[in-house]
Chains A and B, each alone.
Chain A
Amino acid sequence: MASTVDPLPALSEHAPRVREDSSDFFGADPMLPAPYRIHKRRQELSDTFTLELAPADSSRSLAFGPGQFNMLYAFGAGEAPVSISGNPANPATLVHTIRAVGPVTEALWDLKSGDVLGVRGPFGAAWPVAEAEGSDVVIVAGGIGLAPLRPAIYHVLNQREKYGSVCIYYGARTPADILYRSELEKWRGQFDLTVDVTVDRATGKWSGKVGVVTRLVARGGFDPSQTVALVCGPEIMMRYAVKSLKQQGVANDRIYVSMERNMKCAVGFCGHCQLGPYFICRDGPVLRFDRIEPLFEIREL
């Protein structure tokens, strides 16, 4: 009975909570969704769309930390956890980018402008954008993993002078799967940002980079000892992205990943989202990598 796993980190070292932002919400019943109306629906990719929402019966704005998520409720179908992908400086409009992969997100897909859905949140720990001030920031995203990172990108760009070099490295399956393409192109045109995009498979007229996103990380563009890295994408992609960041010299306590698990209640009761000792709804979804490193190396948790 071999024992190869390091002891788990103490729970007292949990990432700071961001829930104070939403005290108005948690004064009420956290299991009761608030009705929101769809103001705009935008098709992003063949299976991915963005909803812009505002409260259906009030003017309250939902302050959130970049990286936090809401439970979106398609009446009749159920709830799914979806990260917020809008600008935290503009909380009056709630923006969610959603990939239709299951019954709930497919029901959300069918909704039109003017329709009402339910929102509970915001929940969970945010990207450490305040702690990263003064550091270089490296953002590594894969596929729809760019959506939970976009609020962090907006935040950094809103307060660009507070950060050192900023790199955005993005990988998509094919050129047709590049999310927020026009925004990426706009950011790439800025002199104070390094933006690079790669695809797993070149299709159509793509003459950009082909390969995994970790190769972009290996090209550098940041000072590893002064860098905070924010990583979101499929677990296998995050595993290799972290490896690449560590090879560059970024310490594992300056790397943050956003994890995904099945969720039901989002307030630490229902038990579904546990990853080792952590409740992803409450202690995550953003977790400092050194805290989950022992678990990350093991398949099946």
Chain B
Amino acid sequence: MVYFPTDMDKQIALATEGKAMVPPSKEMLLDWYRQMVLIREFEETCHQLYEEKRITGVYLHLYSGHEASGVGSMAALRVTDHVITAYRDHGIGLILGMDPKALMAEMMGKKTGSSGGKGGSMHLASKDHNFWGGYAIVGGHLPLAAGIALEARYRGKDDVTMTYVGDGATNNGYFHESLNMSAIWDLPVIWIIENNGYGMGTEVERASGQVELHRKAEAYGIKSFGRVDAQNALEVYAVASKAVEYARSNRPAVIEHVTYRYRGHGVSDKQYDARDDMSAELREWIEKREPIKILRDCIESKYGDVGEILAQHQADAQRIVAESVAFAEASEMPSSYEDLLRNTYVASDLVHKTDDSVGAGID
């Protein structure tokens, strides 16, 4: 199974008409490249560290192969907009500008981690970046996205909530209920379906009656901006820009990003992705649809030789990630009961507590 957009010409026409898109400048494109190589370096390092048991646990879902999906779409946002995703969240945090040191420390469960070691790989978030997480139950974050968008609507702000959702989640109740709610309440959510072809190990065709996932929007009267080649950051950016402009006037939008995961569902399914047919499929994606190469070719075809700058970004990425690993490994583990119990509840004067209260946390 390989999804290539069947109507690419139409998509490009759609993406280039209208005024929504700020034409990407050379600086923007180079910055996208910087973000993408940083993500790739971070994720491949995580993979390596997991193999070496320097990152532990059972969940580690990498964004390698998905880079253009996040980079291109978030380039269409402004800083007051909101972002929320599921558990393949490392790349989203990096794009938003979270400190790679705090992210790597979170992978290792350290006190200096962005969630204090409480959340791990699947629960990254940053209030300062309007990044609301990082959620581990498939589809569980979708009504939260609608709720975050409701706050903007309630207060008359025109900020949008960009919500990443995997292909697998489009089959569960959260997806249907949340999209429907966003439609009847006119919530400014951009629902981006990141379709990497598989929900864990199940192909989209075996999981969804409607295999063009963006068409599920029609069931709720939501405008679909179609299926996008999400290995091409420019294409992603163009369509996302239009969807964001549309959503700012309090209307939900759906986009389907066709992409591919390079490191399987997560570290727990190596055996599945090691199947021969999967390896062949992966090779084909890497050879023909590698997002970093596509962006590089695009920059070079327009601006000539930028090899030095790109090499510098690559070197910077390696240095930044190496520093983040050193920082994380040198950091302290949470180890006390205070660490364990902290932030179960918000400390509150309204709560009656005695030495014999049961179930009130320790704050």
| A complexed with B | no
